[in-house]
Amino acid sequence: MSTIKIIDYEESTGRLREIYDDIIQKRGKLAEVHKLQSLHPESIVKHMELYMEIMFSKSPLSRAEREMMAVVVSVTNACLYCRQHHAEALHHYWKNDERLKLLITDWKSAPLSQREQLLAQLAAELTTNPAAFEQNQQLVQLKTNGFTDLELLDASLVIAYFNFVNRLVLATGIGLEADGGGGYKY
């Protein structure tokens, strides 16, 4: 149960109803995280624009890599809501239940490529100790392993975005949808 008022679809009118309808048309359904900002409807639009840019725009990082980092950040922050949603999205790409389960329970033991391991490590470390990056040693290690500046920027955007959303979800106490959060368009 959310700790703040949320306007459900049935209660929505005017601009909020338009925004909800647009999300349903584009994403297949309305998530609790979308409704979370219902008291400030235009923030939903800006939030969705940012999400779509970071997670779906052209990038040297694959969609699976971005979803994997979203899961690692969400697990690290103990955000069940985002972990569930983005584990389902990652499953859409990986199609491997055991691999996904290992990523969620202990990403260090999951069967990841070296590239995926480095991205997961970046996601966990930037989430738990962002001040450590002031010396840039972690980023230098990634560059030594072939990551480009654009890949590092895109990875940092994914990680920062999910830290933002995890905190928003955790601070307001929204719960998973009755259907567990599934059924979105990828």
- 40 and 81 in a single domain? The answer is no
pTM: 0.92
- 51 and 81 in a single domain? The answer is no
Residue 138: band (very low, low, confident or very high) from pLDDT cuts 50, 70, 90: confident
Residue 134: band (very low, low, confident or very high) from pLDDT cuts 50, 70, 90: confident
For residue 171, the model assigns a pLDDT of 94
Provide the domain count of the chain.
2
For residue 185, the model assigns a pLDDT of 57
Whether 124 contacts 76, CB under 8 Å = yes
- 24 and 68 in a single domain? The answer is no
Half-sphere exposure of residue 92, counting CA atoms within 13 Å on the CB side? 18
- 18 and 82 in a single domain? The answer is no
- 81 and 144 in a single domain? The answer is yes
Question: Would 1 be classed as within a structural domain?
Answer: no
Q: How far is CA 59 from the centre of its chain?
A: 16
- 109 and 31 in a single domain? The answer is no
Average pLDDT over residues 82-104: 96
Whether 125 contacts 132, CB under 8 Å = yes
Question: Would 167 be classed as within a structural domain?
Answer: yes
Residues in the chain, total = 186
Question: Would 184 be classed as within a structural domain?
Answer: no
For residue 5, the model assigns a pLDDT of 94
Main-chain dihedrals φ then ψ at residue 36, nearest 5 degrees = -55, -35
Q: What percent of the chain has pLDDT over 70?
A: 94
Average pLDDT over residues 168-183: 81
Q: How far is CA 155 from the centre of its chain?
A: 12
Name the nearest CA neighbour of 105 among 71, 55, 156: 71
- 52 and 91 in a single domain? The answer is no
For residue 181, the model assigns a pLDDT of 59
- 80 and 157 in a single domain? The answer is yes
- Give the range of the structural domain holding residue 155, as residue numbers without chain letter: 63-172
Average pLDDT over residues 93-97: 95
Name the nearest CA neighbour of 109 among 139, 81, 140, 72: 72
Whether 33 contacts 164, CB under 8 Å = no
